[in-house]
Amino acid sequence: MSKFSKGKKKKEPGISTAALPDIVFMLLFFFMVTTVFKEKETNKLEIDKVAIKETIDLEKNIKASYFWIGRVPGTLDDFRVQLDDDLINDYEEIRNYLIKLRKNPEYSQVWDSRFFNVFKVDKKTEMRIVKKVQDELKEAEAFKVVYSVNKEK
Amino acid sequence: MAKREVEEINAGSMADIAFLLLIFFLITTTMNLPQVQEERLPQKSDVEFLLNEKNVLQIMANKNDKIGIEGEFAEMEDIKDAVIKFYQHDDGARNLPSYIEVDKATCEDTIESLEAALAVYPDAALFKIELDAWTRRLDAVNAFGGTGFKTLPNNATISIQMDNSTKYETYMKVLDQIMLGLNHLRDSLCKDKFQGIPFSKLNDKVESDKQKISAIRQVYPKKIMKEKNRSVQ
């Protein structure tokens, strides 16, 4: 019966959890470093997006330049164009900006595949402005355009 | 009776379980992707295409955002039906494009003669475009299991004309209506050919689905031409 004796039982040593914080921080840093926020919402214009029925998901892992067209908030001035971070005064700036962007190998490698021009346009904008911006895109040979919209329920 | 000592439960593996879960959710979570409408701008070219009148579906919007289809006033909702009719109608219908019949034999014959022509004139750009188009059509026939289909000729397009003062909202709604019509056709074709799977459920990351998508796009291609903005009456 000695096999089942409840005599002297060895006490198990507790598992040390001292390494736990190290693991947590390792994970935290990993995700902090790898996370990329693509959408820079440094928007200086007021935009009321159009809602439509047939939409598609914007692809993941893309390179993009963002075009905002709308009014400066609180005013009833003309519609303005914002390219990435800055307001445009002259449409030619768009061409030069894109040509400069294309010199960057990060962009030139994906120019025809994963580079998009994302448009966020106020619904009241007149087509002449959109057209002028797109004429500049053609000059810079950036042909892929997506229009950011809301999904109509 | 001897009193038993209550043993403590070892919580050392708890952390492992928690992190396993954490990593699982981190990997599987996808953010709500931004919703967009796509368009490809035309290449800058000096070549004016000669278009056959009946091969063009003309959609216009004037400065008051009123819609016109083929020169007549219409409602926004009419565009969807006009697009469906443009792609799918009885053969020989008036003012609508005539179809080209695509089946395995035609594809193979055409590809063969185009290759022969290209061997003689290696720089003929038009032959290359045609060869490319017919190769993709042959792929589509194979994806449908060898059955042929009819599709619109290469130069059939939907033309959109906007006035300079047309609102952006109108333009987006017109594009939306066109896509509604097109996706309706693609959806019913997809259900018909591929065991009732709707077109929107096909995933372009999966190789077999990718073939199905491109096959269906061969039958109902998205061909939109944006004309120069001008004043539209």
Q: How many distinct structural domains can be found in chain A?
A: 1
- The reply to whether B29 touches chain A by the CB within 8 Å rule is no
Residue with tokens 């059955």: B147
Q: Give chain A positions within 8 Å (CB) of B76.
A: none
**pLDDT (tens digit per residue) in A17-37:** 777 777 877 777 777 676 655
CA angle A68, A48, B179 (to 5 degrees): 85
Complex ipTM: 0.71
| 3-class SS string, chain B | CCCCCCCCCCCCCHHHHHHHHHHHHHHHCCCCCCEEEEEECCCCCCCCCCCCHHHEEEEEECCCCCEEECCEEECCCHHHHHHHHHHCCCCCCCCCCCCEEECHHHHHHHHHHHHHHHHHCCCCHHHHHHHHHHHHHHHHHHHCCCCCEEECCCCCEEEEEECCCCEHHHHHHHHHHHHHHHHHHHHHHHHHHCCCCCHHHCCCCCHHHHHHHHHHHHHCCCCEEECCCCCCC
Is residue B1 scored above 60 in pLDDT? no
Greater pLDDT, B33 or A67:
A67
Is residue A43 scored above 70 in pLDDT? yes
Report domain extents, chain B.
100-151
Say whether B33 and A60 touch across the interface (CB within 8 A): yes
Cross-chain CB nearest to B37 (options A15, A125, A149)? A149
Mean pLDDT, rounded, for B127-135: 83
Query: Is A140 inside any structural domain?
Result: yes
CB B41 within 8 A of CB A134: yes
pLDDT for A6? 58
Q: How confident is the model at residue B47 (pLDDT cuts 50, 70, 90)?
A: very low
Query: Is A79 inside any structural domain?
Result: yes
As given in the structure block, the two tokens for residue B36 are 């967009």
**pLDDT (tens digit per residue) in B205-221:** 788 888 888 888 888 88
What pTM does this model have?
A: 0.74
Is residue B50 scored above 60 in pLDDT? no
What is the residue range of A87's domain? 51-151
- The reply to whether B230 touches chain A by the CB within 8 Å rule is no
Say whether A52 and B165 touch across the interface (CB within 8 A): no
Cross-chain CB nearest to B38 (options A56, A60, A139)? A56
Cross-chain CB nearest to B180 (options A14, A54, A144)? A54
pLDDT for B46? 46
- The reply to whether A33 touches chain B by the CB within 8 Å rule is no
Cross-chain CB nearest to A130 (options B22, B36, B168)? B168
**pLDDT (tens digit per residue) in A86-119:** 888 888 888 888 888 888 888 888 888 888 888 8
Q: How confident is the model at residue B21 (pLDDT cuts 50, 70, 90)?
A: confident
Mean pLDDT, rounded, for B180-194: 87
Query: Is A7 inside any structural domain?
Result: no
Report which of B72, B44, B59, B37 is spatially closest to residue B161, judged by C-alpha positions: B59
As given in the structure block, the two tokens for residue B108 are 């193979």
Query: Is A43 inside any structural domain?
Result: no
Q: Starting from the edge strand earliest in sequence, which strands make up the sheet with A56-57, in order?
A: A56-57, B35-40, A144-148, A115-121, A63-70, A80-83, A86-88
A 37-76 residues with CB < 8 A to B = 39, 50, 52-58, 60, 69
Q: Which backbone phi and psi does B2 adopt, to 5 degrees?
A: -80, 140
Query: Is A22 inside any structural domain?
Result: no
Query: Which chain B residue has its CA at the smallest distance from A139's CA?
Result: B44
Quote the CA–CA distance of A145 and A138 in Å, as a whole number: 11
Is residue B83 scored above 80 in pLDDT? yes
- The reply to whether A81 touches chain B by the CB within 8 Å rule is no
Q: What's the number of CA atoms in the CB half-sphere (13 Å) around residue B212? A: 23
Query: Is A8 inside any structural domain?
Result: no
Query: Is A60 inside any structural domain?
Result: yes
